[in-house]
Amino acid sequence: MTVARVRRRVSAHLLHPHPVTPTSTAFTRALGIEVPLIGGAMYPCSNPELVAAVSAAGGIGIVQPISMSFVHGHDLREGLRLVRRLTDKPIGFNAIVEKSSRIYEERMKRWVDVAIEEGVRFFVTALGNPRWVVDRVHAVGGLVYHDVTTRAWAERALAHRVDGLVCVNRDAGGHAGQLGAAELHASLVDLGVPLVCAGGVGDERAFVNALSIGYAAVQMGTRFIATTECKAHDDYKRAILRARAADIVLTEKISGVPVSVIRTPYIDRIGTRAGWLAKRLLRHPRAKHWMRGFYSLRSVLQLKKASLQGATYRDYFQAGKSVEGIDRIEPVADVVARFAAAARGASDQDTAPRSA
């Protein structure tokens, strides 16, 4: 399919007078799903059963390829087929397109091709230039959304022809942004593409609130760790239930850039700031790629151990401020059904979210 045809398809989805329910948005219509809810990619917490459960429940689960292969031990193609055996609903794929090393870049290109061959048509890109993903995905009629934290990054991503934006706010798990959800939406709404809220949504009230701001969907990470399908260690899940928003701190120790984690005695002991040498190397024009590669490799190993071994390793639990709304471990289907019902209920009480 040509780029022009893909664009026409997206515009048609935005303009088409479909019957609008509170859970029907530009996003759900474009993807052919029921609930405007994304199970965000999570290294190391995205296991195939979790991804499949979010899609089966009516949202869309996103495959994280490094988590799939390195943490959960599936060859990517086999892992995608496993998800397919669990659900025939649409799934998505996360491509972190940062140029940390040529080996990584080549591997990611092969993975994206495998995902396309296996029928994936929705991609969420992060951290670099998404153009090569857009070219490959548009050629088969799929859609690419890019993670952004500011208007400047959003404009750059749109210049590379992405179809929508995942708006990462300051409350998000993983790499957090700087702005609040409403502020970020206001700064991007005139760009004319569907906007997805990422960060701070842990309960149905926050979900309804994000839709009522005008977001076309919500991407959740932390909430889905505390589910029966997620294979993270029970210590990790319990730490999420116990934590309050005030317990979430940003640390540079994991990847060199701030990442949200639950404050634990271990985090207090090692501190949250990168050392001066690491900082200088991260800024250096040539050394920065090596330094990022080093951090990535180290963090990939540390996070895998913390997620699978729990408190017997080190308390390195990534989570966002949405922990505040999470008080039980439950099946994914219950979470998605509860959130969808709340959105529908909100409209019954005439507090309907605006259809995005």
In three-state secondary structure terms, 167 is strand
43 binds ligand FMN (CB under 6 A): yes
CA angle 162, 31, 29 (to 5 degrees): 105
User: Closest approach of Cβ 223 to ligand FMN, in Å?
Assistant: 6
In the block, residue with structure tokens 């970020």: 184
In the block, residue with structure tokens 């048609």: 12
User: Closest approach of Cβ 8 to ligand FMN, in Å?
Assistant: 28
Our CB check for ligand FMN shows the closer of 36 and 320 to be: 320
Residue 335's CB: how many other CB atoms inside 10 A? 27
Task: Give me 89's structure tokens.
Answer: 């609903």
Our CB check for ligand FMN shows the closer of 198 and 291 to be: 198
36 binds ligand FMN (CB under 6 A): no
Strands 122-126 and 143-148: parallel
Task: Give me 355's structure tokens.
Answer: 């259809």
Our CB check for ligand FMN shows the closer of 116 and 248 to be: 248
CA angle 46, 51, 52 (to 5 degrees): 150
64 binds ligand FMN (CB under 6 A): yes
Instruction: Judge contact between 196 and 165, C-beta under 8 A.
Output: yes
198 binds ligand FMN (CB under 6 A): yes
222 binds ligand FMN (CB under 6 A): yes
Which are the contacts of 154, defined by CB distance < 8 A and separation ≥ 6?
A: 148, 165, 188, 191
Range in contact with ligand FMN (rule: CB under 6 A) among 3-11, 169-177, 245-253, 291-299: 169-177
Task: Give me 103's structure tokens.
Answer: 């080996």
Task: Give me 65's structure tokens.
Answer: 């390829």
48 binds ligand FMN (CB under 6 A): no
227 binds ligand FMN (CB under 6 A): no
172 binds ligand FMN (CB under 6 A): yes
60 binds ligand FMN (CB under 6 A): no
Percent helix / strand / coil, the chain, rounded to 5: 50, 15, 35
Which of 26, 201, 243, 274 binds ligand FMN (CB under 6 A)? It is 201
Number of residues that bind ligand FMN (CB under 6 A): 28
DSSP string, 85-120: HH--S--EEEEE---S-HHHHHHHHHHHHHHHHTT-
Which of 304, 320, 335, 352 binds ligand FMN (CB under 6 A)? It is 320
Instruction: Judge contact between 144 and 153, C-beta under 8 A.
Output: no
* Residue, CB closest to ligand FMN: 221
252 binds ligand FMN (CB under 6 A): no
291 binds ligand FMN (CB under 6 A): no
45 binds ligand FMN (CB under 6 A): yes
Our CB check for ligand FMN shows the closer of 29 and 321 to be: 321
55 binds ligand FMN (CB under 6 A): no
Instruction: Judge contact between 217 and 196, C-beta under 8 A.
Output: yes
79 binds ligand FMN (CB under 6 A): no
Residues at the contact surface with ligand FMN, assessed by CB under 6 A: 40-43, 45, 64, 94, 96, 126, 147, 168, 171-174, 198-201, 219-223, 318-320, 322
